[in-house]
């Protein structure tokens, strides 16, 4: 962890800055030796019990119904 900042006007959350020390990437996503090919990468993001890609919402987890 590089830095944590808690805003004075909103003490109920924190802004956390991190640095990756190791990354595992499928070889088909690598452009050259040190970069991810952005057109080949379609990440699945889990955000507040919902699944998203680089487009509209893709689905919900079973916990989102509770």
4 pLDDT more than 70: yes
Q: Are 60 and 51 in contact (CB under 8 A)?
A: yes
Copy the structure tokens of residue 46: 């889990």
pLDDT in tens, 10-63: 888 888 898 888 888 888 888 888 888 877 888 888 878 888 877 766 677 776
pLDDT of residue 40: 83
pLDDT of residue 58: 66
Q: Which residues lie below 8 Å from residue 58, measured CB to CB, with a gap of 6+?
A: 44, 51, 52
pLDDT of residue 23: 84
pLDDT of residue 64: 65
Q: Where are the extended beta strands (E) located within 1-66? A: 3-5, 15-17, 30-31, 35-36, 45-47, 50-52, 57-60
Domain chopping of the chain, boundaries: 24-66
């Amino acid at each position: 962890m590089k830095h944590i900042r808690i805003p004075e006007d909103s003490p109920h959350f924190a802004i956390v800055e991190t640095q990756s020390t190791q990354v595992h990437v499928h070889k088909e996503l690598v452009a050259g030796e040190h970069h991810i090919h952005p057109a080949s990468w379609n990440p699945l993001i889990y955000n507040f019990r919902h699944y998203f890609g680089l487009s509209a919402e893709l689905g919900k987890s079973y916990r989102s119904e509770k």
